[in-house]
Chains A and B, each alone.
Chain A
C-alpha cells in the first residue's frame, strides 16, 4: 500500500557516523573546514552527553561550532563565550560560539590559533561525536576516510514499519485549528492522540474506567488500516525535506486518506533547538515538530518545546 518512491526515500534516509573519543580541535582544523564544512552541510553532535550536566558540542550546517560548557571548563578554556540564558543568577553554564566559516578564521589569524591552542593544549576536550555530512556536488573525501585513524563507524538509521488496524482517527478540518464540537478536532487534541498512538495507548476507554479515562477525541472515524513508520537515528534536515516532498507527492493522485503526519523529534541534549536558539533541559528536553498534510495539500505545522527553550520561530 506504500508507494515505492516513498519506500526508497525512507530507505535512503542517509547514513551517519559515530566517532569515538574525537578531540574537538579536529573539527576546527583548516583541513576539516576546507574538506567538509565549506563543501556542504556538516552536522555534528556529541553523543551521550547531557546538556544539563556535561559539556556538549554541536556543529551546525552554517559552520558554527557551539560549545556548551560548565563554569569550570569555561574558566580553564580561555575562549570568549556568553552565559547561558537558563543558568540563573549564578552562572554555571556558558555558551561559546565559533564561526568556522568566518573570513577571519584562517590558519594565520590570531583567533584560529587561539581556538586551536585552547582546544588542543589548554583544555583538550574529547567527545563521542555523531557526524553527518550532506553535499550536492561531487564526492570529495568522505568522513569515513577522513577519520579513519579515529574509531569511526557508519550507522544506518533504524527503520520500523507497522500497520495499525481499525484505528480510531480524529476528524480534522484543515482550515479549523481550534476545532468545533461535533465537527472537527483541535490541534492539541490531535497532538495528544498522536502521542497515544505512538505509545500504544488504548483509545477506547470509558470515562468511568478505573485505569484510564483517556479516549479518542470526538468526533472520530475508524480507519481500517493505518501505516506507521519510525526512523531512529541522526537524521539531517535535507533528508527530512526530501521525505516531506515525497509525502506531498503522495497526494498527487487521489487517495482514501484525508491527511498524514510527519513528526520530528529533536535531540533532547542538543545545545540548540531551532536555528541557533539556545536549548536547555529542565524537566525534559523535548523539542519536536509535527507536520499534518491534508489531501488538498494544506498543512499544519505544530512545534512544541518545554521550559528552557525559546519560542520557536
Chain B
C-alpha cells in the first residue's frame, strides 16, 4: 500500500501515448482504467477506458446473532438471491451475482455483480433483515470496480 507515485511518471518519459478516449472529463465516470505499454524500441500505445468496468465487486459481511447455524456457501448465495427477490422481484432474483469468496467463519464474502446491477444488489442487501427467522444484517465493507482494490483497503490499516 503506497500513498502516491510521484516519480514513477519520470520512468515513463520516453513513452508516447495514444489516448483512445476523448479528453473531456465528466464527473459521473465511475472508473478509469489506463494502460501503458512500453516495448523496448518502439513507442507504446496508451489505452484509456472510462466507465468500462464490466463488473463491480463488493466485500460484504453478514451479521448474525451469536449461536445458531451459520449458512454455508450455497445457503449464503441463496440468501443473497432471496434478498434480491424480496426487493426487486423475480427480475431482481435473476441478476447474476457471483460469490467469489466466502468464509464461513467470519461470514464475509466478495460478491461480483454486473455494474448496472450494483445499486439493485446493494439496496437488496441493505434492506434484508432476516435469515431463517433470525435477525441479520449485511454490512457492505468496500465496493469497487476493480477486484484488485479489494485486496488492499487503507481504511483497515491498523498500526500499533
> How many B residues have CB within 8 A of the partner chain?
62
Cross-chain contact A304 with B30 (CB below 8 angstroms) = no
Cα distance, A274 to B8, chains bound together (Å): 10
Q: Contact check: which of A45, A86, A177, A313 meets B3 at CB < 8 Å? A: A45
Cross-chain contact B149 with A298 (CB below 8 angstroms) = no
Cross-chain contact B148 with A263 (CB below 8 angstroms) = yes
Cross-chain contact A298 with B38 (CB below 8 angstroms) = yes
Q: Contact check: which of A18, A187, A287, A311 meets B35 at CB < 8 Å? A: A187
Cα distance, A155 to B157, chains bound together (Å): 13
Is the CB of A305 closer than 8 A to any CB of chain B? yes
Q: Contact check: which of B31, B49, B73, B151 meets A211 at CB < 8 Å? A: B73
Cross-chain contact A155 with B159 (CB below 8 angstroms) = yes
Q: Contact check: which of B27, B37, B142, B159 meets A174 at CB < 8 Å? A: B37
Q: Contact check: which of B36, B144, B150, B159 meets A306 at CB < 8 Å? A: B144
Q: Contact check: which of A177, A201, A232, A290 meets B45 at CB < 8 Å? A: A177
Cα distance, A158 to B86, chains bound together (Å): 43
Task: Tell me which residues across on chain A come within 8 A of B57, comparing CB atoms.
Answer: 195
Instruction: Find the A residue at minimum CB distance from B36.
Output: A301
Is the CB of B52 closer than 8 A to any CB of chain A? yes
Which residues of B are in contact with A by a Cβ distance under 8 Å? 1-9, 11-12, 25, 27-40, 45, 47-50, 52, 54-55, 57, 73-74, 77, 96, 98-102, 110, 112, 142-155, 157, 159
Which residues of A are in contact with B by a Cβ distance under 8 Å? 18, 43, 45, 47, 50, 58, 60-62, 86, 155, 174-175, 177-178, 187-188, 191-192, 194-196, 198-202, 210-214, 231-238, 240-241, 244, 263-270, 272-275, 282-290, 296-313
20 contacts between A and B (CB under 8 A): A187-B33, A187-B35, A194-B147, A195-B149, A214-B98, A233-B1, A240-B2, A266-B154, A268-B153, A270-B4, A274-B9, A284-B143, A285-B154, A298-B39, A299-B37, A304-B146, A305-B32, A306-B145, A311-B48, A311-B50
